[in-house]
Structures are given as C-alpha cells and as structure tokens.
Structure 1
Amino acid sequence: MNWIKSKSRSLFFKIFLSFLAIIVLFGLFYAVIFHLFKSSLQKEIIDTSQQAVHDTAERFSYQFSRLQVLLFDIYNHADLIGFNNQLRQQTGNEVNYLKARDVMLQMRSDIYNPLFFLEDTLIYLKEHDFVLSKSGSGNAPYMLDRSYTSKQYPYAFWNSYKSSGESFSLLPAAVYRIHNDLSEKKLMPFVYQQLDSRYQIIALIDIDKAAQSFFGEPSDRSLAILNTNGDVLYTWGDLRANELPTFAAGQQAVLKDGTYYFAEAGDDGLTYISAVPYSHVSAQLSRLTGALLLIFSLSLGVALAASYFFSRRLHKPVKQILTTVLNRKTHAPQPYQGSINEYDLIKSRIQDLLREKEEIRDRLNKQKSVLTSYSYISQLKSINTDISEWEDFLSDDGSFIVVLYHIRFRLNPSGEPPLQTDQAVRHMLEHIHLFTAERYPDSHTFQIEKNEIISIFKREEAGKLEKLLEEMKDMLNNETELFLVTIAVSSQVHDSSGFNEAYRQVKALTEQAPLVEESQLVTKPRTLPTTVHLSPSQEKGLLDALQEGSDSRALQIIEQALAALQRKEAGIAQFRFFADAAASKIIGYAEMAQIDRAQLQSLKQWGSRLAECHCLREYQNVFRQLIEASCALIRKKKDSGEEPLIAMFLSIIHNQYAEDLSLDYLSAKLNLSSAYLSVYIKEKTGLNFSDHLLGIRMDKAKELLTRTDLTVNEISQRVGYLNITSFNRTFKKAVGMTPGAYRRQQVVQTHASSG
C-alpha cells in the first residue's frame, strides 16, 4: 500500500494518469457519437427498405397499367372481333381462320417483348369453347388443361369464371406446368372481360421474373402483393400469408417476430408488403460496429502505448536530474513537500528550470489553443444537412414563390471585374441564405448558375415577401460600385412541377429589367421598345465615319443610339443585343478594310468586353475604346488610297459572277443594308450594282465566244444565266447582236487579219 501511495506522487504516474483521463474522455465522446450514428444508420436502413418497397409498388403499378392498355388493344382488335362474329354466324370452312392468325401474330410481338414479362396471352372464346395463344389455337379443354396445366386454374375454373364487376381482374399467382417446354413457372393471371362480352383475354404474367426485375433477388428479403380485399395474390421469397401483420391506418412499418414489414399502397389499388428480417438490419449494423470497434481498439492501444512512451520520456530526464542533484547534494535540507516529489526537489535546487517551465507553460497554452480549435472544427464537421428537408419541401402541397438574384459585376477602368466573382457569389449566397432563413425558416436558397442565386419561399404572402426583398435591395445597393443585382419575383407556383416555368419567368424578368446603376426589384413584366437597331441614316453615318476614320463622329452616333435606348427604358437584354449588332458592324467594316489579322483579333477582344457591361457608362467606355482602335487602324490602312468596301465588292462580283448574285446577297455578306450599299456603289464608281454585274458577265461571254468552242447554251450557264433566251436577249441589248452573230463576226475578222 505504501508503495502504491508513494508511486502515485511520482511524475510518471501523474503524467500517465493524465493521458489516461484524456483517453477516457475521448472514448466516452466516441461512444456517444457512435450511439447516435448507429441510431441514425438504423433509421437510414429502415428508410431505404421503405423506399425500396415504394419503388417496387410504383414499378408494378406502371407495369399493370401498361398491361391494361395491351389487353384492351387485343380485346378491341378488329380481326378478333371479326373472327368471333364469324364463329357465331358461320360454320365449318366458311370461317376465315386467317383473321385468327393475324390476331396471334400481333399477340406474339407483344408477348415476346421482354418488358411485358408475359409467358403467354390466351384469348378464350367461351361461347365456342375455343382458345387462341402465341403458339397456336385449339379447343379450350386442351389449351387450359394440357398446354397450361394448373391445379388452381383448370378448364372448369375458366369455364365458370365471371368477373366481379370490374373489367380488369388480377388473380392470385399459381404454379403452371407448361406443355411446350415441360417446365414449371409461377404465373399470375390478369383477366380482361367486359360484362356483356362473349370472350375474355387472359394474360399469364411471369410474376417471378417481374418481381426479380422490380424488387431484386429475394436473398433475405421477401415481397407480398395483396388485393383490395387483403387477399394475398403473390409472395416472393420466404414469406407466408399467415405471417403478415395488420397495419393500422397510415402505418407503413411494423416489427413483428424479429421481422420488419413495410407496406406501400400502389396507384393500382394493390398493397405491396416487403419483409426484411431484423437480422438483416442488425447484420449491417454489426459489420459496421465490428469495424468501428476494431478501429477504436487499435486507436486505444496506440493511445495507451503512446501515453506510456511519452510518460517515460518525460519522466526519465527528470529522474536523471534528480539522481545527479541528490548525488551531489547529499546533505541538502528537506524541501517543501508538494503533490509531486520530483518537482518539489527541482524547484528547490535548480532555479534555471523556471525558464524552461515557462516555456513549457507557453507550449501547453498553444496546445490548448490547438485543441480548442480542433474541438470547434469537429463541431462544425458534425453539422449534417438533412436532404430530406428539401424533399419534404418539394413534396408538401401548397404554393411556392421563386426569387432570382441575378448578379452583374462591374468593370474597373482596366476592363476587369474588381472582385473574384466565384468567391463573391459564394459570400452573397451565404448572406442571402442567413437573411431569408431568419425571417422564413422554411425557405431554401442555393446557387443555380455562376452569377445566379435562387430562393424559394413556401406559402408566403406577397406583401410580406416584397418587404423583405426591398430590405435586401437596399442592403445590396451599398455595394453598387462592385456589383448590381436584379431581384426578380415569380408568380405563385402551385406544385414543384412548375419550378422550371417559374425559373424561365424570373429569368425573362431579369432580361427585361431597365439598365440602371443600382440594384432593383422586378415583380412583373413591362412593355419594351419594339426596335433596338440603328436606323438606316445612323447606319450610313456610322459607316461613313468609319470609312473616313472619324472616331468622334462614329462614337457620337453610337452614344446617341445608346441614349435613345436609355430614354425608352430598354431592357438589359435589348442593350446587349444592340451592342452585339453595332460591334459586329464596326468589326465587320474593319475586316473589309483588310486589317491585319492580329490587329483584328485585338478589336474582337474589345467587342467581347461588351458582354461584361452592366450600365450605360460601361457601354460607352467600351464602345469608345473599340471605335478609337478601329478608326486608328482604318486610317492607317487608308494611306494606301484604296476604298476597302469597293475593293471587296469588285472582288466578289469578279469571282462569283456565274452565281445567282443579288444586291441582298452582297448586303448580307458585307453586313450593310441593301439601300445603303446601292447608293454607295453608285456614288463611288458611277455605276450601279446591276451595271457592274452585267458588264463583267458580257465581257466574259465575249471571251468564251471568241476563244472556246462551247455552245451558246453552255456559255450562258457559265456566265450566270440559266435561261438561254434571257441570255440571248440581254447579250443582244448590250452588244447589238446575238451571241451567234458575234461569234461569226469574230471568226471572220480573225481570218481576215491572218490573211
């Protein structure tokens, strides 16, 4: 006892005990977390099983609905109706059995479709005791007792079968012996017969194959299908009808005799019950528990070994120091008795260790800070967003309102955004989420595009929501030098299927918003200007200014057009459309001026900056830089003395005179209006477009008539005339004689000059 008491005061024992205390605390923390995690996992496994039977019910319901359509189509097949009528009205060879063959061929295409899971479809003409199937036809006793043999559904059953008042009836599955391949299968009859009908359609569903596809391999799970009366139609796996529990109203899961039962009512009126042994749930938990316990045991062993090792390492130097001190100071006075003998001796004999003690204290404080941070981070990591809240939000009945925050980042003088846009959008997303969740806890906020944030509110009054968004707009207006935000509010959405339409609605509202230098709230559409193009006079003035290299005149025209759009309160999208069209004309003229490719690329980069403009000043600045750069390059090119537009025009008609050229084609190719191009060509060359084209075609025709042996028809096609009559008339009007006469004249002159 004394030995234990003395050891308990040693440094080694105190340090080792401290490590053990920390290990115990972490072990308790781990046990609590594991217990919570285990409960959560068990619930997740149960929810997964419930979802599995829900999915199975949906798949079976959909399958039965498809089979209803199939049986209805077969029942109303014109050849089947005709064949039945013939059997009733005619006898012997008068019956056209080809109609029955056509019906069977149609059935085969459906039966052999693997998605229907059909073994066969029988058409039982009860009045004539005759059956049609995929493999042939025959009398009913043979087909129902021999081809498909079942104790539960013999010929006598079908001969006396009457529906319970409904056209479609699903009967309990039974084992059938199939005569064709001498096999046995569990089939479920699905019967369609109208009350006044003389025949019925019996679909034999390969229910095991369907269950395997819709539910999966049974392994340790089972499935039962019950009709509206609670009778068992089918079981899959080790499940007996007398084992099924009774479910209370609204109850979906029951634990009975060590088995979980999950029920789901299908849209077809049937009830689907899945049975999962509790051992299946516990086995998954056991595997997880075993793995976690193994990890915990290893962690505990490593922690104990590390504690002992570090305790020894801390204790050994102190023991050596004490040995040295005691050996040198054998007659030292009795020190003050503290809780730890070794430190009492160190404090009384080695004052220099005080400095080291302070360093150790500082180190421990830092370690404490690290541990505190680690604890905080662990708490953050333990936060788990429950996705089921969002699923419940979507599945809950009621109306919704969608709010879109469209963020437009401003440009600085260098043409670049002043912020890292991705990081800024994330910060705004978090801020909007906190701001809205505080007022409306049921709301959801998320990022949908790189510069778009969506908030969805459930069953909120428009007046209250608009007040919240007004506050949001005022708050965002404090940062207008960095970004502008358009807040668009949709009309009420009555269910989740309308979210796409609501998003398109708020997207359109943001595009209709006026171009202003502040954040704005848009709640309804507005009337926009009908035209946002340059007028013909403005377009002509712009091209004249570019041709002269006058950047001031060109910029004045663009700024006047932008100011007009601003006065008309054009939408953001309309400003963007106008800017793209105007920039295309400016850069297109620079291309016609045959500007160097590298310099032209720099102009296109300025044009692409227009996509980043979000206010009138930004548009004006970018257009100023684009026009000044374009005019400088055009002025430099004009030193050659060549009219670039006329040069390109002449190049086109000299190279493409044989094609179906028109003024509209040229104006589209040169990005000019046809009226302006016609006046410009006449002004610069003295001839209009048609005169130029006619002259080139006639000169080429003369050359071909003189130098080749081509026929007049071939020559007319080579110079752009598909109609030889039109070519002859035009040639005679231009030259004074027909093409043939012109060729003869040239031949005579050639011979005369050679003689």
Structure 2
Amino acid sequence: MSTSIRWKFKTESLFARLLVSFLVIVVLLAAINLWSYGLYQASLRNEIIRYNTTNLDNMTESFEKHFRLINELVQRFYFSDNVQLLNKKNIDYNIADKVRHDIQPTITNPLLYIDEMFLYFKDNSLILRKDGSTRADAMFNRFYQSPSYPLPFWQNQFQSDKQFHIYPASDFTEFVMPGSAPLPKGKLIPIVIKNNINSYFYITVLINAKKMVDTYNPSLFTNFSILNEEQQPIYTSENVSTGMNHIDFKQTYVKKGHDYYFYKKGIFSGLTYVLVASDKSMSSQIYMVNTTLAIIITTALALSILASIFFSIRFHRPVQQMIRSIQQISPLPPLRSTIREFKQLNEQMRQIVTANLKISEDLAKKTSFLRYYAYINKLKKIYHTNIEEMQDLALEEGPYRLLIFDIKFKPHYVRDIEMDTQRAMYYINEFVTHHVSNSFSNTHTFQIENNQILSLIYTKDNEALLVTTLETIRQELNLDHAYLLVTMAVSGQYHRSTQFKDAYEEALGLIDDRPFKDESLILSSPKKHAEPPTYVFTASEEHELDTYLHAGNASALLQWFTGMLERLDKKGAGVRDYYDLGKQIINRIQMSLLSSYAHDKLVQRTSELYSQLTECYNVNQLTHFMNLLFVSSATTFKQKLDERDRITSFVIEYLEHHYAEDITLDSIAEKMNITGGYLSTYFKEKTGKNFSEYLHEIRIGKAKEYLLQSNMKINDIAMKSGYQNMNSFNRMFKKLTGYTPSQFRQSQSAPFNTVSDVAP
C-alpha cells in the first residue's frame, strides 16, 4: 500500500510530468529523422549521377549557343562593302577606321568573352584589329605572341577548307616595347571563321577561355574538359582523356577504373564536353554524409535527453524553493489539478498576499533606501546639468577624492570586436564599481560621459589601498591594450562639499595634460605651468609651412614638423596640446588646397582627418600620420605644376603640323616607341577625347579657315585638310559644324541668311 502511494506521489510530480513529455517529443523527432535518413541514403548516388548528367547537358547547350552566336556575328563581316574595299595594296585608312568602328560593339560585349577579333587580308598582309591596323608579323610576334601559334600557322589558314574551326587554348603575351618584359594576355581559344565566297581574307576571334568556362561550368565537384573530334583537348582542367580510347555517344557516361566520365557532343561545333567525377570521391562523400548524419542524430538524441532532464530540473527547482519559503495560512478553495506542486501553490497563495502587504509597509518605513535612490539620481545629473549641482553630494565625514576613468576605444576594437562601445562601457563600469566598492565603503560609481566613469570615494587613511586598487584595475584593463587606452585621473584630497567642482575640474585637467604615450596611466599630480603650453605658429613658421607645401616638398614638411614636436616636448606638453598642433596643421593645409585648387574632396575630409588624428596615441604614430598627410598634400600641389605631360604634348604638336598627311595612331605610337593601344588609352584619359576625334576636329578647323579666307575649290580644300575622300570630308564637316562645306561658306559670306535659305 505504501509503495503504491509513493509511486503515485512521484508520478504526480511536476518534474516527472515534464520529463516524460520532453522524452516523448525527443523519441518522436528521432524516429522521423531516422526514417528520413534511410530514404536519403538510398537515392544519394543516383542523385549525384543525375546531377552531373544534367549539369553537362546545360553546359553543352550553353557552349554551343555561344559558338553559334559568335559564328553568326562574324559571318556578317564577310558581306561588308567596307571590308571588301580593303583588299588593296594601298590601304585606305578611312575605310579601315570604319571597319574597326564596326567590330568594336562585338568585341566590347562582355557576354561574348572576346579578348580580340581581327581580319587578316592575304594580299597586303594587313591585320585589322580593335586598336587599329598592323602587319601580320607585328601582330603575332609582338601584340599576340604564342609559341603554339606562330606567324606561319596563321598564314597557312588561307589553305584550310574548314569554315569554322576551334583550336586548343594557349597562353598569349604582348610585348609593349622592344626588349621589355612580356605582358600576359591570358589563356585564349582561337576560332577561325572563313567564307568560301571571300577567300582573300579570314576572321579570327580570340576567346578568353577562363571567363567563358567559369560562366558555363558551375560545377564545384568535377573536372571539366573540351575535346575536338580527334579527342585532343581544346581546354582542360586535367588530362581527362586518359582511359577514353573510344567514346560511345549512345551512353551519357562511362566508368573507367575509379572515374566516371560524363560526356556529350555538341551538334554545331562537333566538340565533346567531358565532366570527370571520381568514384572514390563519390563513395567518400556518401560515407562522410552517412557518418556525419549518424553522429548528428546520435549527438542530437543524447543532447535532447540531457536537455530534457536539465530543463525539467530547472523548472522544478524554483517551484520547490518557493514552496519551502512559504508559511502555512488558511486554505483557499481547492484547485482541480493532478500536479502536486500546483496544489501546494494554491494552498499558500494567501500568505503571499499577506507578505506583499508587509513588504509595502517596510518600504514606507525604509526612508534610507529612498534617500539612496534620490542620491544616485542627483549624481547622474552631472552629465546633463552644471557641475555645481553636485556640490551637496560629498556629505560623509572625512576627506574624499574623485576618480575619473577615461576610456578610448582604438580602431582595432571597431574592426575586431562585435560588441558596440556603449555595451562595452557598461561592462567596464560594472568592473570598476566592483573593485572600488570592494576596497572602500560607501562609494558611488557611475558613467558621466560616453567614454568616462566617475567614482566618489572616502579615503581617510587608506592612501596605500587606493594606489593598490587603481593598479589592479589598470593591470586588468591593460590586458585589452590593443583595443583600449585607459587613463585614471585621481583628484587631490578635499574635505568640503563646496570643493566638489574643484576636484572634478582638477581630474579633467589631469586627463587633458596626460603624457603623449600609448599606455594606460594613473595620474595624480597636476602639472604647474604659468601659461597653457598650447602651440601657436609664428609668422616665420607659417611661411615655412606654406612654402614647403606649395613646392610639393614632403620631406621638408616632415623635418619642419619634427621641429614643432621638439618644441612641444621642451614645454612638457600634454596630449591635448599635440592634438591642437595637428589640428592647426590640418586646417592650414586644407585652406591652402581650397584657395589654390578648390580641391573639394580633400576639404570635405577635414572631420575624417580629425578622427584619424585622435587615433594617434604617441609621437611616433602622430609623426607617421602627419607624414602621410604631407606626402598626399605635397603630391597634389606637385601634380598641378606639370599637368601637361610629354606624350600628350608631342601628339598635339605633331597633329597641328602634319594634319594634312596620312596619319594613324600606330604611326605616331611607333615614333614614340610605344603601342597604339597604350597611346589611345593614355590620350583619351588625358584629353577626354579619342585620337580620331581630336584629329578630325583639327582638320575641320583648318578646312573652315580655308573656306573663309580663300577661294579654293572645296575638293582642293578637302585634300589640303587631309581628306582623300569627298564623302568622308562632307560627312565629317556636317557632323562637327551642322553645315555642308558649301553651306558654311555661303552662311559666313551672307550672315543674315539662315541655313534653310542656302541652296544645297
């Protein structure tokens, strides 16, 4: 009988009910996971095979569409009238410029991954490319040089009958100047596209292999290759053709040794696309997945059971503690529940009400607590109101001191620590409060600024204990020296509450005058000087700064600044004075930049420079920061002294004197011993105009002078201005002036006639 009563007593326990409920949920979830795990394991290998097959189908379709699109875009050039006119010994560079302009949109399309596209003319050995025209020997020995594709290879392409042929990828390089180190162009796939109708030239496209393969091959677990019809690699990440002597395209994959070969042949190009997956890798992945899932399920089950017991105990224990702390009172109406603890809580509820009434009476009597809260509230007003309002706080008997803990968070903290600084200040405040209150009785510690904590202590004869306590706090906080810089200022000993403001200002003064060192310090003795050591520039020093700055002499600026630092050091300056010097220099430099060049970007960064200045914690860091500022500022002034460079000046001067001649970008580049592509980019960057645009502007400007100042025929003016073709001259003249040459001459001779009044 007694055994059954004890069993019923245990099963009615809140702990037992909670534990059983948790375990039922855990077992149910474990059963569901095991069932799902069995289904997943059965289909994993087949899913990997289907994934690779589908992935290869998508890649093949993408590559084939890409090759077909390139073929269609290139074929249209075979029917261009301008291209056919270039098959002459004497090259018409105006027509060549038109053709080059036509091929630019195709080359610059980022979705085609074309690095270069050129037309190779057989009779005149002309290569027409995106940056201009050149000869075949210069093209393949200088601009696109590859050991796999020398000049004879490209010459032999005229004898090939293949209309669309993709050659294996190879590394190409460019020699910018003779004797210079080669510049890598990357691994490129040559595609030769021909047309039987126009056999006197052919077109080649160089595809960036890595960009194209990275786009169309999203697989992260396989090796990829492209093979031609002879099973030779066009592009490969590994030699995947090993073990594949014959490919049966009736199948989608084949297993050779420990490898799975997934392959598919392209309909348009005839290329074979191959993905290789190791069987060992598959088995290893499946085994790892199985092992991982088994460990996860076992661990989760064990943790769930332990968590069930833990939370059941945690929930049950407070209820037991409350029951033991409640005294017996008159019973309330019974509660209908099978849980024993709830019944007991119901029985003791009246006593809780009575206890609450007693607590309310006690609160009314304990005026000391109310006074304490009012005291703390007044202390916090130091951050919001005048410091004089705190003079009535030092009410205790005996001497007192004020401690101010100034915390500076270094840049490493913001970069490395996820906790915001306000939350960090909360923990530092708790840490300081703990140590100060353990050493001294009746202390008050609270945060007065975003980065400052104040403690009011009554020291009496415990000066040695104060030093020990502060040193302990300093050593603990110094463990985070990489993230924090702590300054502890200790005011002198005061006895009257009316001196509270003096103590506070003394401690703040110690912080402002702290030595300029990157270390946590305890400061207690204010410095004595007749006047503030704040640095003020003399007239000669300001003149030296401006002279060195406008001359762009960074080394002289640094030497001048070093002299300023020595002067501050002799005066015994504090950290505030070093920052004042840095701010004056920043302001002076920014004003010079604004007044000289209206350099808005630098002027807008003044607040950012101030912030970086205050992140310097010793003389070396300050010197390094100012040196960087001197170098950048001096460079700005120096660059303004010589804005027109040698290359741009030479090109402009040459065009002014030789505009009537047959001028090309490559011919001028050759005179300067640089490449045409480099000159084109450089000239555009410096002048804001393309080379051809600038040349046309000069020629049309000269033509306008001839039209207004002479009676020459328009044909002669076109020839004299550098145009061999009248159509080109008329089109360019109207594009730049809005008139035809004849309309321009008539409108200038009869200024009151409108354009519509002039006969074409």
TM-score normalised according to structure 2 size: 0.35
Point out which structure has higher relative CO (alpha carbons under 8 A, 6+ apart): 2
TM-score normalised according to structure 1 size: 0.35
